[in-house]
Amino acid sequence: MSEHENLNELRLIRREKLSKLVKENKDPFKVEKYNVTHQSLEIKNQFDTMENQPVSCAGRIMSKRGQGKVGFYDIQDSEGRIQVFAKKDIIGEDAYDELVTYDIGDIIGVQGLVFKTKMGEISIRAESIQLLSKSLQILPEKYHGLKDQDLRYRQRYVDLIVNPNVKDKFIKRSVIIKALRAYLDERGFLEVDTPILNTIAGGANAKPFVTHHNTLDIDMYLRIANELYLKRLIVGGFDGVYEIGRMFRNEGMSIKHNPEYTAMEVYKAYVDYEYMMELTENVIAYMCEQANGTTKITYQGTELDLTPPWRRVSMHDLVKEKTGYDFYGFESDEEARIVAKEKLHLDVEKHMTKGHLVNLAFETFCEEDLVQPTFVLHHPVEVSPLAKRNPDNPLITNRFEAFINTWEVANAFSELNDPIDQKQRFEDQLKQREAGDEEAHMMDMDFVNALEVGLPPTGGLGIGVDRVVMLLTDSASIRDIILFPTMKPVEE
Which band of pLDDT confidence, cut at 50, 70 and 90, is reported for residue 3? low
How far apart, in Å, are the Cα atoms of 186 and each of 39, 183, 191, 302?
33, 5, 11, 32
Which of the two residues, 4 and 37, has the higher pLDDT score?
Answer: 37
Region 34-48: mean pLDDT is 98
In sequence order, which ranges of 239-332 are alpha helices (DSSP H)? 273-292, 315-323
Which band of pLDDT confidence, cut at 50, 70 and 90, is reported for residue 433? confident
> DSSP of 13-73, one letter per residue?
HHHHHHHHHHHTT--GGG---------HHHHHHTHHHHTT-EEEEEEEEEEEEEETTEEEE
Q: Tell me, what's the pLDDT at 140?
A: 83
Q: Tell me, what's the pLDDT at 137?
A: 94
Q: What are the tens digits of pLDDT across the range 70-123? A: 999 999 999 999 999 999 999 999 999 999 999 999 999 999 999 999 999 999
- Which CATH number is 164-310+372-481 given? 3.30.930.10
- Measured over the CA atoms of residue 297, residue 402, residue 285 and residue 185, the dihedral's sign is negative
Q: Of how many residues is the chain composed? A: 492
Domain ranges of the chain: 3-139, 164-310+372-481
- Do the Cβ atoms of 133 and 28 come closer than 8 Å? yes
Q: Tell me, what's the pLDDT at 5?
A: 67
Does the domain formed by 3-139 have CATH 3.40.50.1000? no
Residue 144: strand pairing partners = none
Portion of the chain with pLDDT greater than 90, in percent = 87
Which band of pLDDT confidence, cut at 50, 70 and 90, is reported for residue 194? very high
**C-alpha–C-alpha distance, residues 288 and 311, integer Å:** 18
**C-alpha–C-alpha distance, residues 280 and 266, integer Å:** 10
Q: Tell me, what's the pLDDT at 4?
A: 62
Residue 293: strand pairing partners = none
pLDDT at 449 over 50: yes
* Coil/strand/helix, residue 286: helix
pLDDT at 410 over 90: yes
Selection from 44, 261, 80 nearest residue 167 by Cα: 80
Residues near 43 by beta carbon (within 8 Å), at least 6 away in sequence: 50, 55, 57, 82, 114, 122, 124
Q: Tell me, what's the pLDDT at 147?
A: 65
How many whole angstroms from its chain centre is CA 139? 26
- Measured over the CA atoms of residue 466, residue 227, residue 385 and residue 314, the dihedral's sign is negative
* Coil/strand/helix, residue 483: coil
pLDDT at 146 over 70: no
How many whole angstroms from its chain centre is CA 207? 20
Q: What are the tens digits of pLDDT across the range 215-245? A: 999 999 999 999 999 999 999 999 999 999 9
**C-alpha–C-alpha distance, residues 121 and 114, integer Å:** 11
DSSP 327: G
* Coil/strand/helix, residue 326: coil
- Do the Cβ atoms of 63 and 121 come closer than 8 Å? no
pLDDT at 143 over 50: no
Selection from 439, 106, 409, 154 nearest residue 280 by Cα: 409
